[in-house]
Amino acid sequence: MSKFSLERTINANRDTVYEILSNYENYQKLVPQHFPSVRVRSVRENISVVEEHMNLGDKELLIMAKHVTKPPVLHEVFIIGGDAKGSYIKEQLIEVSEGTRIIVDVDLKLKGKMKMSSIFRKNKFEEEYTKILDDFVKIAEN
Contacts of 69 (CB under 8 A, 6+ apart): 22, 46, 47, 75, 76
Report the mean per-residue pLDDT for the chain: 91
**pTM to 2 decimals?**
0.91
Bridge-based pairing state of the strands 37-44 and 2-10? unpaired
The angle at the Cα of 16, spanning 62 to 44, to the nearest 5 degrees, equals 50
Q: What is the pLDDT of residue 117?
A: 58
Domains and CATH numbers, the chain: 2-141 (3.30.530.20)
Q: What is the pLDDT of residue 116?
A: 54
Collect the ranges in the chain with pLDDT lower than 70.
Answer: 1, 112-123
Q: Report how far residue 21's alpha carbon sits from residue 27's, in angstroms, rounded to the nearest whole number.
A: 9
